Amino acid sequence: MADVQTLALAPPQPAPTAPRLGRLSAYFGTPGNTLISVLSIAAVVFIAKLAFGWLVVDAVFSGNGETCKAASGACWPFVAQKLRYMLFGFYPYDEQWRPMLALLLLFAAFLFSMMPRFWSRGLLLGWILLVLPVLYILMAGGVFGLTPVATTSWGGLPLSFMLSFVGLTLAMPLGIVLALARASNLPAIRVLAVGFIEIVRGVPLISILFMATVMLPLFMPEGVTIDKLLRAQVAIILFASAYIAEIVRGGLQDVPAGQYEAGSSLGLHYWQVMRKIVLPQALKKVIPPMVGLFIGFFQDTTLVTIVGLVDFLDTVRSAIRDPQWQGIAVLEGYLVAAAVYFTFSALMGAYSRFLEKHFRTTHA
Amino acid sequence: MAFLHDMRFRAFFYQVVAIGAVILVGWTMFSTASGNLAKQNIATGFDFLSRPAGFVITEAAIAFEATDTVGRAILVGIANTVKVSLLAAILGTLIGLAVGIARMSRNPLLARLALVYVELLRNVPLLLYLFLWYSLIILILPPVRQALNLLPGVYLSNSGLVVPAALVESGGGALLACLLGGAAAAFVIRRVFTQKRVATGRSNHGALIATAAFVLPALVLWLAGGVSIDWEFPTAGKFRLTGGLHVRPEFVALLFGLALSVSANVAEIVRAGIQAVSKGQWEAAAALGLARAKTMRLVVLPQALRIIIPPLTNTYLTVFKNSSLAIAIGYPDLVMVSNTVMNQTGQAIETIAIFMGVYLALSIAISLLMNWYNAHVALKER
Q: B134 vs chain A: nearest CA distance in angstroms?
A: 11
Nearest CA in chain B to A43: B113
Residue B380's pLDDT is 61
- Neighboring chain A residues of B197 at a CB cutoff of 8 Å: 2, 6
State the pLDDT at residue B4.
67
The B residues from 307 to 336 touching A (CB cutoff 8 Å) are: 321-322, 324-325, 327-328, 335
**What distances in angstroms separate CA B297 from CA A45, B190, B273, B293, one per listed residue?**
32, 17, 13, 6
CA-to-CA separations, A21 to A14, A42, B108, in angstroms, rounded: 20, 22, 15
- What 3-state DSSP class applies to B156? strand
Angle at the Cα of B137 from the Cα atoms of B135 and B139, rounded to 5 degrees: 65
Residues A211 and A301 in one domain: yes
The answer to whether position A29 is within a domain reads: no
pLDDT for position A76 = 79
Question: Cβ of B288 and A295 within 8 Å?
Answer: no
Please list the ranges in chain B whose pLDDT falls under 70. 1-5, 61, 169, 236-241, 243, 378-382
The answer to which of A6-10, A142-146, B130-134 has the lowest mean pLDDT is A6-10
Number of domains in chain A: 2
**pLDDT tens digits for range A238-283:** 999 999 998 888 888 888 888 888 988 998 888 888 888 888 888 8
Return the pLDDT at B33.
Answer: 77
CATH of B70-164+233-377, one of 1.20.1440.20, 1.10.3720.10, 3.30.70.600, 3.30.1330.20: 1.10.3720.10
Q: Which residue of A has its CA nearest to B295?
A: A4
- Of A148, A167, A184, the last residue of a domain is A148
The dihedral over CA atoms of B305, B311, B312, B317, expressed in degrees to the nearest 10, equals: 160
Q: What is the pLDDT of residue B267?
A: 92
3-class secondary structure for A287-348?
Answer: HHHHHHHHHHHHHHHHHHHCCCCCEHHHHHHHHHCCCCCCCCCHHHHHHHHHHHHHHHHHHH
Q: CA A188, CA B306: separation in Å to the nearest integer?
A: 35
Phi and psi dihedrals of B161, rounded to 5?
-105, 130
DSSP helix/strand/coil, A143: coil
Query: Given an 8 Å threshold on Cβ–Cβ distance, is A313 in contact with B360?
Result: no
| Residues near B14 by beta carbon (within 8 Å), at least 6 away in sequence | A186, A189
Of these ranges, A24-33, A61-70, B288-297, the one predicted with the greatest mean pLDDT is: B288-297
A25 found inside a domain: no
Residues in chain B: 382
- CB spacing of B201 vs A44 below 8 angstroms: no
Yes or no: say if B246 and B153 are a contact pair by the CB < 8 Å rule.
Answer: no
| Alpha-carbon span B331 to B352, nearest angstrom | 18
Do A305 and B105 make contact, defined as CB atoms within 8 angstroms? no
A216 and A292 inside one domain: yes
Same domain, A332 and A275: yes
In DSSP notation, A54-106 reads IIIIS-B-SS-HHHHHH-SS-BHHHHHHHHHHHHHTTS-GGGTHHHHHHHHHH
Tell me the average pLDDT across A158-181.
88
In this structure, are A288 and A259 located in the same domain? Answer: yes
CATH number, residue A235: 1.10.3720.10
Same domain? A126 vs A211 = no
For B350, the closest chain A residue by CA position comes to A215
The model's pTM: 0.82
List alpha helices for B277-347, DSSP H.
279-287, 292-294, 301-322, 326-329, 334-345
Domain around A138: 97-148
**Which residues in chain B touch residue A219, judged by CB atoms under 8 angstroms apart?**
29, 32-33, 36
Question: Long-range contacts: B346-351, Cβ < 8 Å, 24+?
Answer: B346/B40, B346/B42, B347/B42, B347/B44, B347/B48, B348/A214, B348/A215, B348/A218, B349/A215, B349/A218, B349/B33, B349/B37, B349/B44, B350/B44, B350/B45, B350/B46, B350/B48, B351/B74
Q: Are residues A299 and A174 in the same domain?
A: yes
> Residue A267, SS3?
coil
| Bridge partners (DSSP) listed for residue B151 | B154
The partner residue sitting opposite A37, judged by closest CB among B16, B109, B119, is B109
Task: For residue A329, tell me if it sits in a domain.
Answer: yes
Cβ within 8 Å, pair B128-A295:
no
φ and ψ of B44, to 5 deg = -95, 170
Give the nearest partner residue to A334 out of B131, B197, B356, using CB atoms. Answer: B131
Cβ–Cβ below 8 Å for A2 and B291: no
Contacts of B78 in chain A (CB under 8 A): none
A207 and A223 both lie in a single domain? yes
- Determine, yes or no, domain membership for A349: yes
In a domain, residue A206? The reply is yes
Task: Give CA–CA dist A80/A61, Å, rounded.
Answer: 9
Angle between the N-to-C axes of helices B348-377 and B301-322, in degrees from 0 to 180, rounded to the nearest 10: 180
Nearest to B335 among A13, A206, A302 (CB): A206
Question: For B19, which residue in chain A has the nearest alpha carbon?
Answer: A188
Q: Within 13 Å of residue A344, how many CA atoms lie on the same side as its CB?
A: 22
Q: Each residue of B198-225: b (16+ CB within 10 Å) or e? A: eeeeeeeebeebbebbbeebbeebbeee
A355 with A216, same domain: the answer is yes
On chain A, the residues whose CB falls within 8 A of the CB of B15 are 186-189
CB B92 within 8 A of CB B319: yes
Choose between B202 and A26: higher pLDDT. B202
**pLDDT of A12 above 70:** no
Pairing of strands B160-163, B148-151: unpaired
Q: What is the distance between the alpha carbons of residues A225 and A244, in angstroms, rounded to a whole number?
A: 29
Sort out which chain B residues have CB atoms less than 8 A from A235's CB and list them: none
Chain A neighbors of B327, CB-CB under 8 A: 206, 306
CB pairs under 8 A between A and B: 171
- Whether residues A89 and A103 fall in one domain: no
DSSP structure class, residue B43: P
- Residue pair A284/A364 in contact (Cβ under 8 Å)? The answer is yes
**DSSP secondary structure code for residue A14 in this structure:** P
Nearest chain B residue (CA) to A308? B328
- Provide, as residue numbers in chain B, all residues whose Cβ is less than 8 Å from the Cβ of A306: 325, 327-328
Say what the pLDDT of residue B99 is: 92
Is the CB of A203 less than 8 angstroms away from the CB of B15?
no
| Dist. CA A153–CA A90, nearest whole Å | 5
* Residue A27 forms part of a structural domain: no
Q: What confidence tens digit (pLDDT) does each residue in B105-129 have?
A: 878 888 889 999 999 998 999 999 9
Q: Do B288 and A199 touch (CB under 8 A)?
A: no
Residue of A170, A132, A115 whose CA lies nearest to A287: A115
Mark whether A144 and A247 lie in a shared domain: no
Nearest CA distance, A24 vs chain B (angstrom) = 10
Instruction: Please say which residue of A133, A148, A163 terminates a domain.
Output: A148
Shared-domain flag, residues A173 and A129: no
Contact B331, B84 (CB under 8 A): yes
Tell me the average pLDDT across A309-317. Answer: 86
β-sheet bridge partners, residue B149: B155
Rounded-to-integer distance, Cα A134 and Cα A275, Å: 28
- Residue A149: what residue type? V
Whether this model's ipTM surpasses 0.85 comes out as no
Tell whether A119 is covered by a domain. yes
In this complex, do B194 and A2 lie within 8 Å of one another by their Cβ atoms? yes
What pLDDT does B379 receive? Answer: 63
Q: Cβ–Cβ of A214/B197 closer than 8 Å?
A: no
Structural domain contains residue A85: yes
Q: CA nearest B13 in A: which residue?
A: A186
Residues A105 and A224 in one domain: no
Selection from A100-109, A195-204, B49-58, B202-211 with the highest mean pLDDT: A195-204
Distance between CA B244 and CA B120 in Å, rounded?
A: 36
Contact check, Cβ <8 Å, A10/B39: no
Alpha carbon distance B346, B44 (integer Å): 10
Nearest to A215 among B16, B135, B349 (CB): B349
